[in-house]
């Protein structure tokens, strides 16, 4: 039977029975690998242009509705989700090739980001495997230079692999949030610890070099 993929809507639909918002629809017309798609994503081969009809499901009512949406796919890219088939057909007839090209650029950027993230995760897992295989006394004998490539901030202070994973995932989440922040045109400031911080200290400071300001945390 296979699994479903999920297509998330840009704008939620409303259940005609209870008024609850429906934010996505499931389909077996794409990869059937529990993949989450949005408009602009690649859902098939470049030669594919088609319209797929899917019945909406309301989680609040716990049942399928007699209401459908139409997934318009051109050159393998999900162009839009419409409520009327004729609108999807018109969209394919008048598809803007320049807009498609821009979508491909966005997809390539997304692909590169995914590959970068994949390499980071693979590297961390390999480093964690090597680190936790070492006996405790051998870890303590490592020099700072030897610890550096071992994702030290995640591994050295972790007593268990689970703690290291949680530290790594929290760091990745933080970095992703900062990247999104910068993409919205905001500015982030690099901070530098002037001195080492030791456990139990109540006061410490960091330098923000861009503005030559010093913040004191108590």
Rounded Cα–Cα distance for residues 205 and 51 (Å): 59
When divided into structural domains, the chain yields a total of 3
Q: Residue 44's closest CA among 5, 94, 8, 81?
A: 5
* 106 shares its domain with 34: no
CA distance linking residue 71 with residue 60, whole number of Å: 23
Q: Are residues 154 and 213 in the same domain?
A: no
Does residue 10 sit in the same domain as residue 88? yes
- pLDDT value of residue 144: 60
Q: What pLDDT was estimated at residue 142?
A: 65
Q: Which residue range forms the structural domain that includes residue 151?
A: 102-187
Express each pLDDT in 164-211 by its tens digit.
Answer: 999 889 888 888 888 887 878 877 666 555 455 566 666 655 555 444
Residue 110: predicted pLDDT: 84
In the block, tokens 């923000």 appear at 208
**Mean pLDDT per 10-residue segment, the chain (218 residues):** 87 94 95 91 87 95 94 93 95 86 85 87 88 73 59 78 90 83 74 57 56 40
Rounded distance, CA 195 to CA 165, Å? 27
Domain boundary among 67, 95, 123: 95
CA dihedral 91, 97, 101, 107 (to 10 degrees): 20
Q: Do 198 and 181 share a domain, yes or no?
A: no
Report pLDDT for 215: 40
Do residue 12 and residue 22 come from a single domain?
yes
Q: Which residues of 150-162 are buried (b: 16+ CB within 10 A; e: fewer)?
A: bbeebbeebeeee
Predicted confidence at residue 152, as pLDDT, reads 64
Domain end call among 60, 95, 130: 95
Give yes or no: residues 77 and 36 share one domain.
yes
74 beta partners: 77
CA distance 207 to 214: 5
Question: CA-CA distance, 91 to 50, in Å (whole number)?
Answer: 11
Distances (CA, A) of 19 to 12, 14, 16, 59: 11, 5, 6, 11
Q: Same domain, yes or no, for 91 and 9? A: yes
pLDDT score recorded for residue 134: 77
**Statement to judge: residues 192 and 177 lie in one domain:** no
- Do residues 23 and 56 share a domain? yes
Same domain, 182 and 194: no
- 178: how many CB neighbours lie within 10 A of its CB? 12
User: 117 and 199, same structural domain?
Assistant: no
Tell me the backbone φ, ψ of residue 75, rounded to 5 degrees.
55, 35
pLDDT of residue 139: 64
**Can you tell me the distance from the alpha carbon of 51 to that of 72, in angstroms, rounded to the nearest whole number?**
5
93-115 burial, b for 16+ CB within 10 Å, e for fewer? eebeeeeeeebbeeeeeeeeeee
- Do 106 and 90 share a structural domain? no
Which secondary structure element, helix H or strand E, spans residue 73, and what is its range? strand 63-74
């Amino acid at each position: 039977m296979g699994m479903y993929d999920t297509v998330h809507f840009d704008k939620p639909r409303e259940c005609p029975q209870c008024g609850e918002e429906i934010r996505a629809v499931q389909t077996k017309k794409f990869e059937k690998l529990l993949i989450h798609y949005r408009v602009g994503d690649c859902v098939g081969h470049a030669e594919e242009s088609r319209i797929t009809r899917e019945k909406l499901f309301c989680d609040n009512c716990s049942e399928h509705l007699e209401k459908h949406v139409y997934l318009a796919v051109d050159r393998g890219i999900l162009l839009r989700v419409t409520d009327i088939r004729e609108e999807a057909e018109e969209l394919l007839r008048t598809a803007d090739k320049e807009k498609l090209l821009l979508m491909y650029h966005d997809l390539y950027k997304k692909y590169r980001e995914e590959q970068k993230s994949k390499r980071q995760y693979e590297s961390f897992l390999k480093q964690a495997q090597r680190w936790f295989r070492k006996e405790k006394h051998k870890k303590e004998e490592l020099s700072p230079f030897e610890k550096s490539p071992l994702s030290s901030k995640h591994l050295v202070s972790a007593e268990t692999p689970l703690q290291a994973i949680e530290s790594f995932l929290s760091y990745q989440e933080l970095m992703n949030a900062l990247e999104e922040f910068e993409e919205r045109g905001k500015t982030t400031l690099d901070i530098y610890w002037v001195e080492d911080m030791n456990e139990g200290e109540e006061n410490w400071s960091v330098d923000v070099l861009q503005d030559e300001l010093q913040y004191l945390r108590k």
